[in-house]
């Protein structure tokens, strides 16, 4: 699986952007790449890359987080290290962008630079088991909102539909038709399907490549949107 120098993960609350960001950064680092994770998830207090600082730094992954996370963002006060990470052509950068259109406003500060360089992927992460993205049409509405807020066109989709540790292979397979329909609606390819590593032997023929995930300890949601106190992917 090939990645551009900058990978931006965008999506609705609880879509699994943070787990993807951590897993992607660790995979790139294991391949010998210099990697920086930039935590731009300024809205959601439950799912944040900075909660995994120790695990990332132990593996040699640099983490940059705004001190304004979980507060009203003062856009001019974004740390200079974020700008340096985006401009650094010698290292890969993974940007964890959260909060739908509100969180994507932070990304707008970097959009011109990213577009000018052309070496980025902006991946819309969708979990069809989360409220407000249960259908392709709902997911498309969120995608268009974050594109408008960030000024950065998405380049691909990631199906990360899951129920945390309760996820079975059939739950992932069930949503494949939905991400295919979303792809048709927005004209973007499905970059990959992400799923718990323990399920990879049961998943074949899904959209895009299969991206096995190691679970992170977050609070997930049931199909009706309730937390269950387990882990989230």
What number is the average pLDDT over the span 68-94?
67
Nearest to 13 by CA among 108, 104, 114, 148: 104
180 or 224, which is more confident: 180
- Band (49; pLDDT cuts 50, 70, 90): low
What number is the average pLDDT over the span 7-35?
90
Beta bridge partners of 63: 37
Task: Let me know if residue 164 belongs to a domain.
Answer: yes
Task: Let me know if residue 202 belongs to a domain.
Answer: yes
Return phi, psi of residue 9, to 5°. Answer: -110, 120
Segment of 21-30, 96-105, 182-191 carrying the highest mean pLDDT: 182-191
Distance of CA 215 to the CA centre of its chain: 14
pLDDT at 18: 85
pLDDT at 45: 44
- Band (77; pLDDT cuts 50, 70, 90): low
pLDDT > 80? residue 219: no
What is the domain extent for residue 29? Answer: 6-213
pLDDT digits 0-9 by tens, 195-217: 999 999 999 999 999 999 987 65
pLDDT at 55: 78
Task: Let me know if residue 62 belongs to a domain.
Answer: yes
175 or 18, which is more confident: 175
In this structure, what CATH number is given to the domain that contains residue 176?
A: 3.40.50.300
Task: Let me know if residue 218 belongs to a domain.
Answer: no
Task: Let me know if residue 182 belongs to a domain.
Answer: yes
Beta bridge partners of 93: 6, 36
Complete edge-to-edge strand list for the sheet that includes strand 35-40: 62-65, 35-40, 92-97, 6-11, 120-126, 156-159, 190-196, 209-213
What number is the average pLDDT over the span 104-112?
77
pLDDT at 127: 96
Task: Let me know if residue 122 belongs to a domain.
Answer: yes
Distances (CA, A) of 230 to 54, 74, 213, 226: 21, 33, 16, 11
Number of domains in the chain: 1
pTM of this structure: 0.83
pLDDT digits 0-9 by tens, 129-177: 999 999 999 999 999 998 888 888 999 999 999 998 899 999 999 999 9
Task: Let me know if residue 229 belongs to a domain.
Answer: no
pLDDT > 70? residue 37: yes
What number is the average pLDDT over the span 167-193?
97
Task: Let me know if residue 219 belongs to a domain.
Answer: no
């Amino acid at each position: 699986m090939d990645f551009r120098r900058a990978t931006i993960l965008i999506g609705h609350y609880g879509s699994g952007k943070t787990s993807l960001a951590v897993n992607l950064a660790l995979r790139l680092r294991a391949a010998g790449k210099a990697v920086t994770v930039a935590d731009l998830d300024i809205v959601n207090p439950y799912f944040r890359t900075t909660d995994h600082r120790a695990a990332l730094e132990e593996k040699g992954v640099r983490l940059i987080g705004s001190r304004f996370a979980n507060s009203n963002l003062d856009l001019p006060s974004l740390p200079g290290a974020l700008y340096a990470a985006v401009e650094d052509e010698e290292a890969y950068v993974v940007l964890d962008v959260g909060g739908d259109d509100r969180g994507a406003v932070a990304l707008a500060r970097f959009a011109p630079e990213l577009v000018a360089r052309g070496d980025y992927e902006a991946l819309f992460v969708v979990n069809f088991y989360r409220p407000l993205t249960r259908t392709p049409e709902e997911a498309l509405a969120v995608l268009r909102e974050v594109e408008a807020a960030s000024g950065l066109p998405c380049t691909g989709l990631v199906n990360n539909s899951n129920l945390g540790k309760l996820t079975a292979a059939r739950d992932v397979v069930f949503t494949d038709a939905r991400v295919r329909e979303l792809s048709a609606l927005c004209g973007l390819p499905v970059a990959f399907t992400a799923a718990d590593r323990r399920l990879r032997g049961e998943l074949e023929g899904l959209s895009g490549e299969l991206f096995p995930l190691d679970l992170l300890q977050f609070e997930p949601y049931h199909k009706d949107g309730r937390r269950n106190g387990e882990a989230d992917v």
